[in-house]
Amino acid sequence: MIPSNVIATIPRRATASAVKEPTLSIQYLSISDNPISSWNDVDSLVTWFPELYELSISFEPLASGIPPGATRNFVIARLPVLRKLNGTEVTERERTDAELFYLSWIGRSGQLSENDMEALHPRWKELAAKYNTSTEKLKQAAENLGSHMISVKVVKLHGAITRQQPVSISDTGTTLRVLPTMSTKVFGMKLKKALRLSSQVDPKALWILFTSESGETVPLRAFDTDPLHDLTWSGVEEGSLIGLEL
């Protein structure tokens, strides 16, 4: 664990026969609170730690120049054997979504040479082969992935919530774009950041809401309490109104 050590760069491991450096059999690494801001440094982790299963890293320095909320997806896609990121399990379904999202982003990178593409995205060819795609198909894949994302609106609810009993909503709500295959735990992390909450979101505090013909907002059902279940388990779909009990 080497958090808060002002580590700003991670060089790639030398692989030339004359200066080949050994890999390290480390499965857990914490480099959080270090100013690592280049994706090249994240890619370098694979060269040093090929068995890296768990990682803690600060997302904020890496967020520049990529889609909002995509940092976790990009870290997962760049580290092929990662099983836990910042304390949250990486499910097989989340990995598939993350890798496809990453491929779609590569497809929007413009007309780069093959060498430049591989330098910027070391897993590009590996992932293209894994998902049976090519550089010509990447833009189409981006459009297809975008069509899988949904918009949901989240509002804060104050006081105890009872199913089918109308609630009062004081704020205008926050609209988020999410993948329905996102786990409830990751969705909670996204909510914590978007709403600037001081604590983690408990799945028990989330409700599916609907607006009655009279205009009242009514809790329809509570979220599934398993944090690893994806949003579809709780009935989240395009246009869902979600209440967060505070």
pLDDT per residue as tens digits for the range 72-93: 999 999 999 999 999 999 999 8
CB 141 within 8 A of CB 135: no
Residue 18, pLDDT score: 46
- What percent helix, strand, coil does the chain show, rounded to 5? 35, 15, 50
10 Å CB burial of residue 32 (0-12, 13-18, 19+) is middle
The end-to-end CA distance of the chain, in Å, is 34
Which domains does the chain carry? 28-131 (no CATH), 145-245 (3.10.20.90)
Phi and psi at residue 188, in whole multiples of 5°?
Answer: -60, -40
Q: Is the dihedral of CA 33, 38, 41, 46 positive or negative?
A: positive
The pLDDT value given to residue 205:
93
Of 125, 232, 220, 221, nearest to 183 by C-alpha is 232
Sign of CA dihedral 116, 117, 118, 120: positive
- Give pLDDT, residue 17: 47
CA 162 – CA 111 distance, rounded (Å): 55
Tell me what pLDDT residue 180 has: 85
| Residue ranges in the chain whose pLDDT is less than 50 | 16-18, 137-139, 141-142
Report field, pTM of the whole predicted structure over 0.85: no
